[in-house]
Structures are given as C-alpha cells and as structure tokens.
Amino acid sequence: MSSEAPDDFGAAEAVVSTRRRPSIVWLIPVVAAIVGAFVAWRTFSERGPQVEIAFETAEGLEAGKTAIKYKDVEVGIVEEIHLRDDLEGVHCTARMVKSFAPYLNEGTRFWVVRARVAGGQVSGLGTIFSGSYIAVDPARDGEAEREFVGLETPPIVTADQPGKHFVLRSRKAGSVGGLRT
C-alpha cells in the first residue's frame, strides 16, 4: 500500500498550507478606523473658538442649552457655567461657531436676554416661552479677545444700528440741555 492511501477509516490526510496575505475580514476594521479618524478630524477642525464670559449671576442660563445669538441666528452655545474663585459672579464657557471668530474682538459685548420690566419698559417677552439666551454685539475692529465681561442690562445702542455715536464729556455734572449744535 502507498503512503498516500486512505487510512483504515477511508479518510484522506489533510494538507495544511499557510496563506501569504491577510484575510479580507481585516479590511472591515481598517476601513472603520479610517472613517472614524476622518470624522474626528473634521469635527475638530470645524470647531469654533472657545470664549469665557463673566456675569454677576447665572439667572436663566443653562449649560448645554443656552444659545448665543446675533440677530436671532445662533452663533454659539454655553458649554459650562461655574462660580468665580472669589464667589462674586459666574463664568460661562461658550463655544462659538467658526465663522464668528473674526468678530470676537475687544469691543464685543454680551448680555443675557430675559423678560424684563423696568422703568416703564418691557423687553424680552419672547424669552418667556423659549428661555433666556445670550445676545452679542460684535466688534469689527480691535484686537482678538477670548475673555469678556457680560453686561447686566442690554445696551441702548448696538453697533448694527445706523447713525453716529457720540460720547459726551463735561467738567461739571448736570444736564446737557444747554448744548447747541
């Protein structure tokens, strides 16, 4: 009988050979890792700048929910709210959209828009249902800034309103009724 003949049970011997290339099954995790790395890179590269805004109180603000808006367009969101070290106020850490970065300059102003009734004026009634948000008045000129002190009341005039802005100074306190143009 020859050595290649079947054994007593009629089965032939198995021949074992080694494969020179990896299995196609390994292609799935490699592709998944490449896609995951691309998504992570794209998410990180599209993130806007982070800013710190100091306020006296966090009334109406919620981390992860409070939007930062300019002309009713969301340009950022509050990520964290924490107490200042001296307990004299709060700091809001916010992430702005990338396209708003050129307007985060030293003259940029932030304030909380909430329902207010003061001095016979009513403002912010829309926030009763939608919740408070932080409004921003961007500055087009000046040095880039990432730390701001928020206003406690909305400004009377914002940069997007047409006209001229004047600063009046006087050596004596009093009325400006005697001024002539």
Kindly list the domain boundaries of the chain, sorted by start residue: 47-149
Please give the Cα distance from 3 to 1 (Å, whole number): 7
End-to-end Cα distance, the chain: 126
Is it the case that residue 153 has pLDDT exceeding 90?
no
Question: What is the model's pLDDT at position 31?
Answer: 92
Of residues 23 and 62, the one with the higher pLDDT is: 62
Q: What digits encode the pLDDT tens for the residues 105-150?
A: 998 999 998 766 555 555 555 555 567 899 999 988 889 899 999 9
Question: What is the model's pLDDT at position 66?
Answer: 93
* Nearest partner of 140 among 100, 105, 165, judged by Cα: 105
Q: What digits encode the pLDDT tens for the residues 2-46?
A: 555 555 666 677 777 776 777 788 889 999 999 999 999 888 888
Question: What is the model's pLDDT at position 91?
Answer: 94
* Nearest partner of 126 among 138, 113, 117, judged by Cα: 113
Please give the Cα distance from 29 to 98 (Å, whole number): 32
Question: What is the model's pLDDT at position 80?
Answer: 95
